[in-house]
C-alpha cells in the first residue's frame, strides 16, 4: 500500500507541476513579444512567468487534491490509475473540509521527501498518514 500511495502522489504531483509549467510557458510566449517591443521590462516578464508557473502548480494541486476527489467520489487522477479511493472511517464520502485538511497536512507528511508519510502509513493500523488521521479518512483499494 505504501508503494501505491507513493506512486499515486507522484502521478498527481506530476499533473500539478505539468499544469503549472504549461501555464508558465504560455505566459512566457505572451511576455516574449512584449519584451521585444519594449512594452515590458525583461525582469518583470521573468517574474510574472515564474509566479504564474508556481501559482498554476499550486492551484492545480488544490484542484487535484480537493475539488476532483470531492466531485469524483474520493478519487484523484493518480488514485484512478492505481485503484485507490478516499473514504471516511465509517465508509462514507468525505466532505470538502476533509479533503482540504488532507491536502493542507501533506505539507507535514511531505517533509523529507515523504518520509514522514511513509512512517505514518507504516505504523498506523489503518495505514493512514497524518492528513488522514486528522481528517478521519482512510485510503482503500478499489480493485
Please state, in angstroms and as integers, the Cα–Cα distance from residue 121 to each residue in 2, 48, 82, 108, 138, following that order. Answer: 7, 39, 17, 13, 10
Per DSSP, the residues of 6-55 read HHHHHHHHHHHHHHHHHHHHHHHHHHHHHHHTTSS-HHHHHHHHHHHHHH
Residue 34, C-alpha cell as written in the block: 512584449
| Residue pointed to by grid coordinates 482540504 | 100
In this structure, what are the phi and psi dihedrals at residue 35, rounded to the nearest 5 degrees?
Answer: -70, -45
CB 27 within 8 A of CB 55: no
9 Cβ contact partners less than 8 Å away, ≥ 6 residues apart:
78, 114
pLDDT tens by residue, 8-64: 999 999 999 999 999 999 999 999 999 999 999 999 999 999 999 999 999 999 999
How many structural domains are present in the chain?
Answer: 1
Write down the pTM of the prediction. 0.91
CB 57 within 8 A of CB 16: yes
| Domain around 72 | 2-141
pLDDT tens by residue, 70-115: 999 999 999 999 999 999 999 999 999 999 999 999 989 888 889 9
Amino acid at each position: 500500500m505504501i508503494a501505491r500511495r507513493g506512486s499515486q502522489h507522484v502521478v498527481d504531483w506530476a499533473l500539478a507541476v505539468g499544469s503549472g509549467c504549461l501555464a508558465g510557458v504560455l505566459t512566457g510566449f505572451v511576455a516574449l513579444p512584449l519584451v521585444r517591443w519594449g512594452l515590458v521590462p525583461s525582469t518583470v516578464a521573468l517574474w510574472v512567468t515564474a509566479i504564474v508557473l508556481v501559482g498554476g502548480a499550486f492551484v492545480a494541486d488544490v484542484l487535484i487534491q480537493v475539488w476532483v476527489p470531492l466531485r469524483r467520489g474520493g478519487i484523484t487522477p493518480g488514485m484512478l490509475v492505481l485503484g485507490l479511493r478516499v473514504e471516511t472511517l465509517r465508509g462514507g464520502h468525505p466532505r470538502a473540509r476533509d479533503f482540504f485538511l488532507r491536502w493542507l497536512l501533506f505539507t507535514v507528511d511531505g517533509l523529507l521527501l515523504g518520509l514522514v508519510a511513509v512512517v505514518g502509513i507504516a505504523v498506523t493500523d489503518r495505514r493512514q498518514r497524518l492528513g488522514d488521521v486528522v481528517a478521519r479518512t482512510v485510503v482503500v483499494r478499489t480493485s
